[in-house]
Amino acid sequence: MILAIETSCDDTCAAVVAPDGRRALSNVVHTQTEHDRYGGVVPEVASRAHLERIDGVIERSLADADTDLTDIDRVAVTTRPGLIGALLVGVAAAKGIAYARSLPLIPVNHLEGHIAAAYLAEPTLEPPFVALIASGGHTALYCVDQNHSMHLLGETLDDAAGEALDKGARMLGLGFPGGPALQKAAHGGDRSRYDFPVALKGRDNLNFSFSGLKTSLLYRLKELGEERTREELPHLAASYEAAVIEALVRKLARAADLHEAPAMVVAGGVAANALLRRTLKETLDIKLVIPPPRLCTDNAAMIGAAAPHTPAAAYPHYLSLNARSV
Ligand code: KG4
Ligand code: ZN
């Protein structure tokens, strides 16, 4: 079995995954609450919180899977990209466990992990497919080939989709993370009341841009003033959320046309969004795999799912292995 560890941002995660990476026996996610009062993730606070929690989270992942380290024959860990101090905690824990038991270590790219969540959701899925990753740090479209190699088709030229949602939510005085907060505030709101711009709409390239949207919200809020903003909150939230989602759906539909892929995977924290999930199912006439929300946001099961098709570092050569922020 594979023990997987993920600490790239503000979730301390460990999971036990079946050898073929297609089934999670446990998936423990501890979301750090230390950042709440800052309205965003503070890197140094994140690494210290990971350090306090990591042992307990790993122990629980083994207990939940009704197993112990004697059943583990590989350790997988996110080595990049992410917050460097946060990544290092997971990498050190993984090295320690793998070295103590003479096991191989598998260094996993976080983005490949997000895509691999699709194999847990749909165990028979095989590449090629087109994949969108929309998270707090990344928004990119890839073509994943038969060898599981990722080829970039397009990406955001400025903010990530999740970042746009987080910043918009913050301007509207909503909580962090912004995606779920906006989704809640948008309840009952009219999505067409405010016309926020969808960038690069007509272009044939597959890039995204969200910075104009954010500026447009800023000007709109200045115009409205505090009291009207409060009254209009559900409509503002609904219209802003809809603009982010429309930008993603448009490019996905375009990618499906251009690349004639037999399937499409949508992953990353923003893929947990109900409006996006609903709209894609209605719009795309293609096999669509969107993992359940708890596998879209950061977790370690997805890192274990990427492990079988990622080269392993043999014992004890990984001791010099490093984490990377990009
Ligand atoms: O993949 P993820 O958990 O962490 C990164 O690797 O960044 O993604 C976090 C992002 C945040 O920007 C958050 O606002 C967004 O995903 N998110 C959502 C939802 N849940 C999380 N966005 C829209 N709707 C949601 N339900
Ligand atoms: Zn992520």
Mutate-to-test residue for ligand 1 from 165, 241, 266, highest number of ligand atoms within 8 A of CB = 165
Q: Whose CA is nearest to atom 23 of ligand 1?
A: 179
Q: Which residues have CB under 8 Å from 203's CB, separation 6+? A: none
**Residue 137 Cα, ligand 2 centroid: separation in angstroms?**
7
Query: So what's the pLDDT on residue 175?
Result: 86
Mean pLDDT of 265-281: 97
Label residue 66 left, alpha or beta by phi (over 0 means left) and psi (-120 to 50 means alpha): left
Q: Whose CA is nearest to atom 8 of ligand 1?
A: 269
Mean pLDDT of 253-273: 94
Name the amino acid, one letter, at 13: C
Whether 313 contacts 106, CB under 8 Å: yes
Whether 40 contacts 26, CB under 8 Å: no
Query: So what's the pLDDT on residue 323?
Result: 98
Whether 167 contacts 301, CB under 8 Å: no
**Alpha carbon distance 302, 17 (integer Å):** 9
Ligand 1 in reach of 24 Cβ (< 6 A): no
Atom number of ligand 1 nearest to Cα 169: 14
The pTM of the full predicted model, rounded to 2 decimals, is: 0.96
Query: So what's the pLDDT on residue 189?
Result: 97
Name the amino acid, one letter, at 267: A
**Alpha carbon distance 267, 262 (integer Å):** 17
Query: So what's the pLDDT on residue 40?
Result: 86
Q: Bigger pLDDT: 199 or 98?
A: 98
Whether 125 contacts 118, CB under 8 Å: yes
**Alpha carbon distance 83, 314 (integer Å):** 25
Ligand 1 in reach of 273 Cβ (< 6 A): yes
Whether 261 contacts 129, CB under 8 Å: yes
Binning pLDDT at 50, 70 and 90, where does residue 203 land? Answer: confident
Share of the chain above pLDDT 70, in %: 100
Mean pLDDT of 283-310: 97
Mean pLDDT of 232-248: 97
Sheet holding 139-144, edge to edge: 150-155, 139-144, 129-134, 263-267, 287-289
Q: Whose CA is nearest to atom 2 of ligand 1?
A: 269
**Residue 92 Cα, ligand 1 centroid: separation in angstroms?**
26
With 90 as the cut, is the pLDDT of residue 313 above it?
yes
Query: So what's the pLDDT on residue 36?
Result: 86
**Alpha carbon distance 235, 217 (integer Å):** 12
Atom number of ligand 1 nearest to Cα 11: 3
Q: What is the pLDDT of residues 25-39, one digit of tens each?
A: 999 999 999 998 888
**Residue 267 Cα, ligand 1 centroid: separation in angstroms?**
10
Q: What is the pLDDT of residues 211-232, one digit of tens each?
A: 999 999 999 999 999 999 999 9
Q: What is the pLDDT of residues 243-260, one digit of tens each?
A: 999 999 999 999 998 988
Q: What is the pLDDT of residues 58-99, one digit of tens each?
A: 999 999 999 999 999 999 999 999 999 999 999 999 999 999
With 90 as the cut, is the pLDDT of residue 126 above it?
yes
Query: So what's the pLDDT on residue 161?
Result: 98
